[in-house]
Chains A and B, each alone.
Chain A
């Protein structure tokens, strides 16, 4: 029973990862790619870790998986924030479809 639940969680996680990778290929500019990829891949890997937790139960491996989830959340969000800020300062323009840019005045 626990094995079934863990397999279901892992399958959901890999589906989310697949969506993130499609986003990384299809979307037009760097900002949108980062946007899609970070959200989907982070939640997908968290779901895989939940599957590991269900598979092992509350033993040492299960608690390790549980501890890994908040670490993954904080590191990936802070990393995405740093990358997108660096991209803007590097001089990459927003894509052709974009309609608004308030950050330009603040950078000066």
Chain B
């Protein structure tokens, strides 16, 4: 049972490595930003699986905080793309 969960955890980590590939390769700047956005959501999945594995509930708190931080980061990057100042 826990072996199977370990395999799932490794698969999820491998998926986030695929996102890193898109961040490195991506031909344009928005492609890299898409990679960053998706990477943030995948890390939340990793947090949830680790919370099951270790039976500790505070790791889910880290996951929720990560969702909100990655949301703010994405909004800032999108604002940068529209070439405006941050207070507009």
Contact = CB atoms under 8 A, between A and B. Distances in A.
Interface in B27-74: 28-31, 33-35, 37-38, 41-42, 44-45, 48-49, 51-52, 57, 60-61, 63-64, 67-68, 70-71, 74
A20 B71 CA distance: 19
Interface residues of B, number: 46
Interface residues of A, number: 50
A53 to B, nearest CB: 10
B36 to A, nearest CB: 10
Contact of A17 (B12, B33, B34): B12
Interface of B: 1, 4-5, 8, 11-12, 15, 18-19, 21-22, 28-31, 33-35, 37-38, 41-42, 44-45, 48-49, 51-52, 57, 60-61, 63-64, 67-68, 70-71, 74-75, 77-83
